[in-house]
Amino acid sequence: MTIASKTATSRLPDVVGAEYVSSNATDLNAYAIDGKLPSAIVRPGSTEEVIEIVKYAAAERLALIASGARTKVGIGLPPARYDIALDMTRLNRIIAYDPGDLTLRVEAGVPLRKVAEALAEHRQFLPLAVPFFDRATVGGTIATGVDTPLRQFYGTARDYVLGMEFVLGEGVLSKSGGNVVKNVTGYDLHKLMIGSLGTLGVITRVNFKTFPMPVASRGFVATFESLDRAIEMRNHVAQSPLTPMTFDLLSPRVADLFSSPGAERLTKTTMPADVVSPAYWALTIGYSGKENVLSRYEAELRRMAAESLAANVIVLGDGARAAAFAFKREFVPIALESSLATTIVKISVLSARLKDALSAAIKAAETNQLPWAAMARSLGVIYFALLPAELGQASQRQVVAATNQILAAGASLGANMTIPWCPSEWKSAFKVWGPDRHDLAQMQKVKKVFDPLGIFSPGRFIGGI
């Protein structure tokens, strides 16, 4: 924060009104990102106000970082500059919802919980069951690109975001996509915004395709004494005609995380008995349909579990499945609460190499004498949590060594790896965005087009974009 930026931001009340601008020290601390504080917080109430703020920031060369509930601001590198915290939570309207056409248009600051409640009245939903669900907003969720257990069947946001409205770096409003499911006009520029961490523009509105709620659902859990046996059943299911909604593998130590007081507070529910155990790997599968479909699923899964020598199997009804799902959804915040030094490596690999990637990560953790826990999506996405007991130089050295080994092993498997969550104090020692990328030059060109003055979240993305 500089005197010049303080002086420049002092004119923000002219744009949104004094009651929606703050430079109070306590407020600024709440918007800190990796130890850096803004000079001012501004809370626009409309797209027009966002446009004016961006134009003003561009004219004054002020760095601007947009956020919602700030549940995922720890993702990415520390900002190179940070003058204005753009709080989008006043843009919280559901603008249009047509249950018949399965379409929804919302403002970026609307909470996911509010959207879920509105859709549930018509027995519909969005598959955005992301970590920090009860607090997260639509815009922050889309900008960070965090995935969900439901990607197994429904895909990622790229598959059901129909269109978007966003403000570019010179204060120009841009629209991409449309409001209907079948839309073939124009380029899908809005997909560049997904996962770009706010470095290309400020999302103001998002159009979604919605989905009917399942008629009924069940959960199936098979536990195994070894990773090999769990992967064996995973392969059987993946090669079968079955199409589960969720399909995740949990390591034994996940049981300790899920039994913590913080876990129940974050999920607002209780984990059903026997789903996870500190002695077993758990293969968890969610599926839906009419009763005859559910019966077929159960019979097939029981057969596959027996062939893979499962230690135990349980079937969860609708309510118990939903409770267990909440714990899987909140795996990341639960792991983060377990230790101030929790470091989570995200590994994306071909599903055929899932076992190899997991084994390499386990070896790296145990070589460096670090406790660990893992949640692996069957599609090939692994969230591998390193869980040192405390912050400190010794723990940092262990975690840095382990992550470097994981990154090296992952590179040999053709994996894409990042470290989305780690202690702020340690970030400079990590390759937060993974190994160097061959497409960095192209990404820098895109950044230059969308944000020519470099005012959006400078330095936070890949390669310091």
Is the Cβ–Cβ distance between 69 and 108 less than 8 Å?
no
98 — phi, psi (to 5°)? -120, 95
Please, where are the H alpha helices in 339-374? 354-367
Is the Cβ–Cβ distance between 271 and 258 less than 8 Å?
yes
Q: Which residues contact 30 (CB under 8 A, 6 or more apart)?
A: 70
Alpha carbon of residue 28 to chain centroid: 25
Is the Cβ–Cβ distance between 41 and 85 less than 8 Å?
yes
Is the Cβ–Cβ distance between 174 and 228 less than 8 Å?
no
3-state secondary structure 173-215: EEEEECCCCCCCCCCCHHHHCCCCCCCCCEEEEEEEECEECCC
Q: Which amino acid is at 465?
A: I
Is the Cβ–Cβ distance between 168 and 50 less than 8 Å?
no
Is the Cβ–Cβ distance between 353 and 427 less than 8 Å?
no
Return the closest-CA partner of residue 31 out of 82, 107, 76.
82
Is the Cβ–Cβ distance between 348 and 416 less than 8 Å?
yes
DSSP string, 397-431: HHHHHHHHHHHHHHHHTT-EEEEEE--GGGGGGS-
Q: At what angle do helices 318-329 and 331-338 cross, to 10 degrees?
A: 50
DSSP string, 91-125: ---EEEEETTTTEEEEETT-BHHHHHHHHHTTTEE
Ordered per-residue pLDDT tens for the chain, 465 residues: 555 556 667 789 999 999 999 999 999 999 999 999 999 999 999 999 999 999 999 999 999 999 999 999 999 999 999 999 999 999 999 999 999 999 999 999 999 999 999 999 999 999 999 999 999 999 999 999 999 999 999 999 999 999 999 999 999 999 998 776 655 455 689 999 999 999 999 999 999 999 999 999 999 999 999 999 999 999 999 999 999 999 999 999 999 999 998 898 999 999 999 899 999 999 999 999 999 999 999 999 999 999 999 999 999 999 999 999 999 999 999 999 999 999 999 999 999 999 999 999 999 999 999 999 999 999 999 999 999 999 999 999 999 999 999 999 999 999 999 999 999 999 999 999 999 889 999 999 999 999 999 999 999 999 999
First to last CA, the chain: 20
Q: Parallel, antiparallel, or unpaired: how do β-strands 217-224 and 312-316 relate?
A: antiparallel
